[in-house]
Structure 1
Amino acid sequence: MTFKKGPAVGYLVTLVMGFALAFSASVLADRHNSENRGLPVDEMRMLAEVIDRIKTAYVEEVDDRELIENAIKGMLTGLDPHSDFLPPEAFADLQESTTGQFGGLGIEVTMEDGFVRVVSPIDDTPAFRAGIQAGDLITKLDDTPVQGLSLSEAVELMRGEPGSSITLTVVREGQANPFELTIERAVIRVTSVRSRMLEPGFASVRISSFQQNTAADVVREINRLREEANGELRGLVLDLRNNPGGLLSASVDVSDIFLSDKLVVYTESRIPNNSFRYQSRRQTLLPDLNLVVLINGGSASASEIVAGALQDHKRAVIMGTQSFGKGSVQTIMPLSQDSTALKLTTARYFTPSGTSIQGTGITPDILVDQGSFTAQEVRLSREADLQGALQNGQAAADDAVDNADDGRLRDQDYQMYEALNMLKGLAILKP
């Protein structure tokens, strides 16, 4: 087959080559290694020929802009599950999500084998209340199959007017058949930090996502807990379960609350001057408070940065199950046309000990699966049961321990119950 360079092909070659040159110049302008500067002219001609064939022979007429955007999406989605092309609507949605308010279902997702994989539902959102779980695969959005969509296209379909509904077809490990969940969309207002006293002297702070103000919110909640404990806060559970991540800077700031003058995370990139080391400050709020961090398979990205830093510096005991394993950094690169942008994976991040968690995740120091607990009391004879046993001789204590609250925590959240037990042990060993 002969390649005939007609006017349309010549125009498209110029267009595609111009786009590639502009992109190469903006991202790699300061690269000193020249061996990769040349563009594959034959392959660019092939791309232009494919576009020309589509324009002239496809069964329906296709807009030039749509073709070029599809070519860009294909380039990016073929790289990894997190790189993507962001049209104006998706770019605006991404900017909204980092400030803590946006419209939709309330789930963090990624692409896996052509399907949408749920990284984590966000607390107190429609998806959370409907029973969506970390690890679920979404195969259809209403009547639209997910396969063939980009991540941004799938996310766009899940968003919509508050009050409108969407039906998700879900495949879940352990269930033989797919099932459907109909969820009503809502305005998602993410409260990223919550706290509570578990029992006197011991508290938990839950972070559901890392946003601009997360570290300041954590400090506020810890100060409130210390007041509630009359200054006798003896231990804290930092709950990062089902936290899909968020802003890298926020994860560094949260780590800084517990680490003094320590390396938190570092990144390695192919772009010169784009590899960074993030350090905690010398003065920190809680350098010594007994700390347990809870993670699970829905803990990803920024959550893993915090858990990895605290684990490497032996600042906290990490409990729960293996984390998600997203150890890559995405950079948002605004483009010059129509408020569009690229979300491009530009670096890997490493824990302070030099461990990359990409694809493997953080391994807990103590593995605790979430499950139900069934108590079984075995009554053995004691000294007081023996005939003629001596009496104690002291008055019985008036402040007998009431284990009712402890039992409720155990039944409702077994991982948190075990984290509390660990804190009690740490408080005994290190008051």
Structure 2
Amino acid sequence: MTTSPGQEMTLTNSAKREVLERVLKALDSKFYKPELLDATWRDAIESHRKGIESAPTQDAFELAVTGLLQTLKTSHLGFFHGTAKRASSRAALSATYLADETANGSRWIFQDVHDGGSAALAGIQPGNILLRVDGKEIVPPEHPVFPMGASSTIDFVANDGQERTASVDVAQPKGKKLQFVEPTLVQSKLLSEGIGYLKVAMFPGMIGVEVANSMSSAIDALGNISRLIIDLRGNTGGGAGALRLMSLMTPNRAPVGFSPGKRWAKRDLAAEKTRFPRLGKIPASKGALWLLGLQFLPALVTKSPIVLETEGLGTKPYDGNIVLLVDRHTASAAEMVTIFAKENHLATIVGEKTAGRLLSATSVKVGHGFRLALPTGAYFTWNGTALEGSPIEPDVIADFDWQERRSGVDAQLLKALSIAG
């Protein structure tokens, strides 16, 4: 790999071949669903190889490898250079959007805008229409990306119909590194007498001690409510902190699900799942995480799946009277919560079909500064449901109407309120 000041890094042909072979080796070794690496996949490799090895620039190389990976048609799969200081809008802005026709042509329209995130801090609201990023017109299906170490300007049509420009900073220093501006993770309020509202933007962290404690505190602050609306719209997932939310939805201990890796792909999971170790308690503090690591060390060494089990937190005054709000951007760990509630009849699910993206994933180095993100385990509910590629159907459909949202009406929340009574 060579580079000149002010120029994009370039790759030698031998470096490109080396990286590609390491990508293929990593997939053979770790990919969660080996049956997808079949003759069709091998044909795809050969049909894409020339374009990958002849890519003239680093960006072209990334796009070419990404094109190959997309033929596997699975989520949590990506290829990028470690020096890349850019991020998708979902991560960078703590916001989501959908594509539709507008008076400005085909455009992205903001759907979920989480309080405290970069988009919200810049004054962007649900229903706003994205026009340009740093002066470049953004038209679907192209998605905007944002540099992490610099401010970006966003031109958009506000909900009053006026075009506006906002400056966004997607990251902030944390020591010597940059970290995304994190949205307000947990919010709660009383919507009316007896009806509480809990919104969770994401479940950060592998175990999620902080978000778990925040959810428990938020529920306690609501007091003696008889009905609860949980809002997971735009929640793109995270880690095991989601277990606390599931535990707040049922008084009992109940098995939730598990993520078997490649070595379990052909095993009889229904027969073996009762022998898997169980994680049924999120520690009260990060200081106790080492005990958790010690407890599950044998499972980590043997790569045994670990069953999530609710914590048995006892009865709540709203038990049996929960409405769960979801949309097309509700994904990953948030879908674990949704399917758990649905299969155990713990809540009425309201909104749109969820994303259908639920896999365990990791990233590995594949040489010359590149990394491969890949799924290493499927997720199965205790009842045996696999969600990857299968969005969860709500019990009550309530679509996001962006034109109505521009007038200040949150029809999905109003529907949830009408069901909660």
Conservation of the 8 A alpha-carbon contact between 2:98 and 2:109: yes
Is 1:83 matched up with 2:77? yes
Q: Secondary structure at the match of 1:72?
A: helix
Q: Secondary structure at the match of 1:258?
A: coil
1:87: Cα distance to partner? Answer: 2.3
1:236: Cα distance to partner? Answer: 1.9
Between the aligned partners of 1:275 and 1:116, the Cα distance in structure 2 is 42
1:196: Cα distance to partner? Answer: 0.8
Is 1:167 matched up with 2:155? yes
Between the aligned partners of 1:370 and 1:145, the Cα distance in structure 2 is 22
Q: Show the counterpart of 2:218.
A: 221
Q: Show the counterpart of 2:255.
A: 263
Q: Show the counterpart of 1:234.
A: 226
Conservation of the 8 A alpha-carbon contact between 1:304 and 1:323: no
**Paired residue type of 2:235:** P
Do the aligned partners of residues 354 and 132 (structure 1) sit closer, same or farther apart at CA in structure 2, a change above 3 Å counting? same
Conservation of the 8 A alpha-carbon contact between 1:256 and 1:281: yes
The counterpart of 1:246, out of the listed 237, 262, 276, is 237
Q: Secondary structure at the match of 2:335?
A: helix
Q: Show the counterpart of 1:201.
A: 194
Q: Show the counterpart of 1:387.
A: none
What CA deviation, in whole Å up to 9, does each residue of 1:42-85 have, x standing for no partner?
9878766556766xxxxxxx45x556444433333454465322
Name the TM-score, length of structure 1 as normaliser: 0.60
Q: Secondary structure at the match of 1:214?
A: helix
Q: Show the counterpart of 1:331.
A: 361
Structure 1: tracts of 5 or more residues without a match: 1-10, 55-61, 171-178, 227-231, 372-410, 425-431
**Paired residue type of 1:284:** L
Q: Show the counterpart of 1:121.
A: 113
Do the aligned partners of residues 288 and 364 (structure 1) sit closer, same or farther apart at CA in structure 2, a change above 3 Å counting? farther
Is 1:309 matched up with 2:298? no
The counterpart of 2:318, out of the listed 263, 282, 289, is 289
Q: Show the counterpart of 1:156.
A: 146
Do the aligned partners of residues 140 and 324 (structure 1) sit closer, same or farther apart at CA in structure 2, a change above 3 Å counting? farther
Between the aligned partners of 1:168 and 1:276, the Cα distance in structure 2 is 46
Q: Show the counterpart of 2:183.
A: 190
What CA deviation, in whole Å up to 9, does each residue of 1:179-223 have, x standing for no partner?
976432135341110011233433111112222332221011112
Q: Show the counterpart of 2:283.
A: none
**Paired residue type of 2:365:** L
Question: Which is greater in Rg?
Answer: 1
Q: Show the counterpart of 1:366.
A: 396
Q: Secondary structure at the match of 1:249?
A: coil
Aligned residue-pair number: 339
Of residues 73-82 and 206-215 in structure 1, the stretch that sits farther from structure 2 once superposed is 73-82
Structure 2: tracts of 5 or more residues without a match: 1-11, 101-106, 171-180, 266-302, 402-407
Q: Secondary structure at the match of 1:254?
A: helix
Between the aligned partners of 2:27 and 2:115, the Cα distance in structure 1 is 37
Matches within 5 A, 1:320-399: 320-329=350-359, 331-335=361-365, 337=367, 340-359=370-389, 361-368=391-398
1:237: Cα distance to partner? Answer: 1.7
**Paired residue type of 1:161:** A
1:313: Cα distance to partner? Answer: 0.7
Between the aligned partners of 2:260 and 2:398, the Cα distance in structure 1 is 32
Between the aligned partners of 2:115 and 2:71, the Cα distance in structure 1 is 31
Conservation of the 8 A alpha-carbon contact between 1:263 and 1:277: no
What CA deviation, in whole Å up to 9, does each residue of 1:232-270 have, x standing for no partner?
332322122x32322142323321332332232344654
1:359: Cα distance to partner? Answer: 4.9
Between the aligned partners of 2:219 and 2:225, the Cα distance in structure 1 is 9
Do the aligned partners of residues 200 and 87 (structure 1) sit closer, same or farther apart at CA in structure 2, a change above 3 Å counting? same
Root-mean-square deviation (CA, aligned residues, Å) is: 4.8
Do the aligned partners of residues 323 and 183 (structure 1) sit closer, same or farther apart at CA in structure 2, a change above 3 Å counting? farther
Between the aligned partners of 1:42 and 1:202, the Cα distance in structure 2 is 56
Conservation of the 8 A alpha-carbon contact between 2:118 and 2:169: yes
1:314: Cα distance to partner? Answer: 1.2
Q: Show the counterpart of 1:427.
A: none
**Paired residue type of 1:194:** Q
Between the aligned partners of 1:182 and 1:272, the Cα distance in structure 2 is 51
**Paired residue type of 1:184:** S
Of residues 17-26 and 297-306 in structure 1, the stretch that sits farther from structure 2 once superposed is 17-26
Do the aligned partners of residues 358 and 287 (structure 1) sit closer, same or farther apart at CA in structure 2, a change above 3 Å counting? farther
Between the aligned partners of 1:126 and 1:43, the Cα distance in structure 2 is 39
Q: Show the counterpart of 2:22.
A: 22
Q: Secondary structure at the match of 1:344?
A: strand
Identity %: 19
